[in-house]
């Protein structure tokens, strides 16, 4: 394709988009939801800042006095849901219309087309998700995953005791290592594969945070650009995608191949992949398609589990460092139930409301995905008297829900676990659990129960074992770590330093 042929093709695409917009506007029976009027062809592209989109969408929505915000982004319709009521009405009650995903040209160029979080709603998605939910059911959680979590926490505490300055790496080890061990049977202790696959997940996941938001790259708005060669001017995204694809494809296929080799040699440990493969073989039901579903399900859990839980746990450490009074309350609650001579176990789960409140507050205060994952409408809809065009991309703005002062109090900017508790210290069931942090409807996180268990044991163990405080600079002045999380589909705190000191003898016996 020559340069001028490409220019003509782009011009034709823009003309078609403009003509389609004019035609659709003449056909709709109700007005669009409130939002900026925008400019011809480019729409509201310049009305929205490039940073902190979740905050910008919340503030623009308030300007229009509506929990629905409509934006035309160069021909692509965006609908932002700024209330949990709207999100439940559309994404849950009308999930048949709203469970699809938009195209992710850049992510798919990177190789993420296997991941359930990005897959279109359909047969491949349903079968892979069903497999994943079966393997992380309540019974399997108790039989298989909780023992691994308990084993992982001891090694995590030992690492934290030995090298506390590397706490962020240790948190990634805990979240990623646990899921890798559960999925693929890789040993937690001195298994070289374990560390290498943790690093592989870290490298692969770095590409999601930026490219997972539609529109970040020009190719997301003009998918035809994915066909241009890498040498073409402005095609740097193709080189980046090819580089990232190497990590993503390894993440998808290598761990399952490793389990199959171990099964053949009789050295595999029981894990999700080995149990599913063995069941296929025993039933004579193995097929390449079913193994592909297994790769998709395990690869999705591998990438998500290596990142999301680690971010929330890092947020909790950040909050404990900045709020010593909350740390003291949490430690007192732990001591009252567990005492000073042992570490918490899952037998203690549900008996320490302050730990539950602390986790809920972390999910509310700094959600991992503040804008949520985009949904894609399969056909037009009418809601609250507004017309929502077909193929609209819909975001449930979790940030707006979880920072709503009408729901969580006027001090929503503050980290305060007590908002979830009654005066007597029990959990206040009238304050909504921050479920928005796990998504909505058929697209809600299938690993929610596993994540909740992981967080509970980790937070309880940290409170029982360590004191946290601000780090000191060279002059002995306390360093106040920032709470301004970095942008992206996955939002995490910037790296920070802190002081971590053991507070119980039990943690020194954890190894």
For the residues of 246-289, what is the DSSP string, one character each? HHHHHHHHHHHHHHHHHHHHT-PPP-HHHHHHHHHHHHT---HH
Coil, helix or strand for 181? helix
Q: Which of 253, 284, 282, 428 has its CA nearest to residue 356? A: 428
Pairing of strands 76-81, 393-396: parallel
Q: How many CB atoms lie within 10 A of CB 291?
A: 16
> How many Å apart are CA 470 and CA 2, to the nearest integer?
59
What long-range pairs does 75-78 form, CB within 8 A, spacing at least 24? 75/17, 75/18, 75/20, 75/21, 75/41, 75/43, 75/221, 76/214, 76/215, 76/221, 76/393, 77/388, 77/389, 77/391, 77/392, 77/393, 78/392, 78/393, 78/394, 78/395
> Using N-to-C axis directions, what is the helix angle for 353-365 and 448-465, rounded to 10°?
120
Question: 160, 498 in Cβ contact below 8 A?
Answer: no
DSSP run (H or E) holding 72: strand 68-73
Alpha helices in 306-323 (DSSP H): 308-322
Coil, helix or strand for 170? helix
> How many Å apart are CA 146 and CA 339, to the nearest integer?
22
Q: How many CB atoms lie within 10 A of CB 26?
A: 7
Question: 35, 67 in Cβ contact below 8 A?
Answer: no
Beta bridge partners of 79: 70, 394
Coil, helix or strand for 214? coil
DSSP run (H or E) holding 450: helix 448-465
DSSP run (H or E) holding 501: strand 498-502
Q: Which of 119, 77, 78, 127 has its CA nearest to residue 101? A: 119
| Residue 445 is labelled as binding a ligand | yes
Place of tokens 């829900």: 401
- Annotated binding-site residue numbers: 445
Sequence ranges of the binding site for heme = 445
């Amino acid at each position: 394709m020559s340069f001028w042929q490409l220019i003509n093709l782009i011009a034709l695409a823009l003309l078609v988009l403009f003509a389609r917009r004019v035609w659709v506007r003449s056909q709709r029976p109700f007005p669009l939801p409130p939002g900026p009027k925008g400019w011809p062809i480019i729409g509201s592209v310049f009305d929205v800042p490039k940073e902190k989109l979740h905050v910008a969408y919340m503030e623009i929505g308030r300007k229009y006095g509506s929990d629905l915000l409509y934006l035309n982004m160069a021909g692509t319709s965006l609908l932002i849901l700024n209330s949990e009521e709207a999100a439940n009405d559309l994404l849950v009650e009308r999930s048949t219309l709203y469970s699809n995903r938009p195209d992710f040209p850049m992510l798919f160029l990177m190789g993420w087309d296997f991941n359930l979080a990005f897959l279109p709603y359909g047969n491949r998605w349903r079968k892979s998700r069903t497999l994943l939910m079966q393997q992380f059911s309540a019974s399997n959680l108790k039989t298989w995953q909780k023992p691994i979590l308990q084993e992982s926490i001891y090694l995590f505490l030992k690492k934290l005791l030995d090298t506390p300055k590397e706490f962020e790496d240790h948190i990634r080890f805990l979240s990623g290592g646990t899921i890798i061990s559960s999925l693929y049977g890789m040993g937690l202790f001195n298994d070289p594969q374990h560390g290498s696959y943790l690093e592989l997940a870290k490298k692969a996941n770095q590409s999601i945070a930026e490219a997972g938001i539609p529109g970040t790259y020009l190719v997301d708005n003009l998918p035809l650009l994915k066909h241009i060669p890498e040498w073409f001017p402005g095609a740097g995204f193709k080189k980046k995608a090819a580089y990232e694809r190497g990590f993503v494809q390894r993440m998808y296929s290598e761990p399952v191949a490793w389990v199959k080799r171990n099964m053949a040699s009789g050295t595999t440990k029981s894990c999700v992949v080995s149990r599913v493969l063995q069941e296929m073989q025993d039933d004579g039901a193995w097929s390449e398609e079913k193994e592909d579903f297994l790769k998709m399900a395990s690869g999705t859990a591998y990438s998500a589990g290596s990142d999301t839980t680690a971010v929330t746990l890092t947020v909790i450490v950040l909050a404990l460092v900045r709020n010593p009074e909350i740390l003291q309350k949490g430690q007192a609650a732990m001591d009252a139930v567990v005492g000073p001579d042992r570490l918490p176990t899952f037998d203690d789960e549900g008996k320490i409301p302050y730990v539950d409140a602390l986790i809920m507050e972390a999910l509310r205060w700094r959600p991992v995905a503040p804008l949520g994952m985009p949904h894609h409408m399969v056909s037009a809809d009418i809601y609250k008297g507004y017309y929502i065009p077909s193929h609209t991309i819909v975001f449930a703005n979790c940030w707006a829900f979880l920072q709503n002062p009408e729901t969580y109090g006027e001090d929503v900017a503050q980290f305060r676990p007590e908002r979830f508790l009654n005066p007597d210290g029990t959990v206040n069931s009238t304050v909504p659990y921050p479920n928005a942090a796990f998504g909505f409807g058929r697209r809600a996180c299938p690993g929610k129960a596993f994540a909740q268990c992981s967080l509970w044991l980790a937070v309880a163990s940290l409170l029982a074992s360590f004191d946290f405080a601000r780090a000191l600079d060279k002059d002995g002045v306390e360093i106040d770590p920032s709470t301004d999380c970095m942008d992206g589909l996955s939002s995490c705190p910037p790296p920070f330093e802190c002081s971590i000191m053991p507070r119980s003898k039990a943690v020194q016996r954890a190894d």
